[in-house]
């Protein structure tokens, strides 16, 4: 499997307020960390294990999207700006989209996610 590349989209960085420089740096570091860990796994593991790792990463990112999405109305209710929560939510959604843009990886991700759905469904019926 080929190495992947991930980046923080410019529209997300541009949406941050001027005092958001530290958030932009944090986002850059987070994306670099994800990219490094995924590429290390791709290099060291077989394709199946690497795909499982990336699907785990996607599921983690989906959890983070839900978490940050939940912060938006709460912050608004307290009179706070939800811009940073929205930026992080959008970043994680975009990272998932970037992972699916890699053709070779995309088909493997779909296959692994479908496998997990079926596996979970079988377990639920067995209870």
Q: What is the mean pLDDT of residues 75-101?
A: 95
Residues 7 and 110: beta-carbon distance below 8 Å: no
The tokens of 102 are what? 């890699």
Q: What is the mean pLDDT of residues 51-72?
A: 96
pLDDT of residue 121: 60
The tokens of 78 are what? 């307290």
Any residues with CB less than 8 A from the CB of 37 and at least 6 apart, and which?
57
Q: Which bin fits 9, alpha (ψ -120 to 50), beta or left (φ > 0)?
A: beta
Return contacts of 93-96, CB within 8 angstroms, 24+ apart. 93/61, 93/65, 94/9, 94/12, 95/6, 95/31, 95/34, 95/61, 96/58, 96/61, 96/62
pLDDT of residue 120: 62
> Whole-model pTM?
0.87
pLDDT of residue 2: 87
Residues 4 and 102: beta-carbon distance below 8 Å: yes
List the domain boundaries for the chain: 10-126
pLDDT band at 123 (very low <50, low <70, confident <90, very high): low
pLDDT of residue 83: 94
pLDDT band at 55 (very low <50, low <70, confident <90, very high): very high
């Amino acid at each position: 499997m080929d190495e992947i590349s991930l980046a923080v989209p410019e529209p997300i960085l541009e949406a941050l307020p001027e005092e958001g420089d530290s958030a932009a740096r944090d986002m850059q570091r987070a994306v670099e960390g994800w990219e490094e860990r995924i590429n290390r796994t791709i290099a060291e593991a077989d394709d199946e294990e690497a795909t499982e790792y990336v699907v785990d990463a996607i599921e983690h990112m989906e959890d983070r999207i839900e978490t940050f999405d939940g912060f938006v109305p709460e912050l608004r209710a307290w009179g706070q700006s939800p811009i940073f929560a929205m930026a992080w939510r959008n970043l994680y959604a975009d990272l998932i989209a970037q992972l699916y843009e890699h053709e070779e990886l995309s088909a493997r991700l779909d296959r692994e996610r479908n496998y997990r759905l079926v596996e979970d469904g079988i377990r639920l019926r067995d209870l």
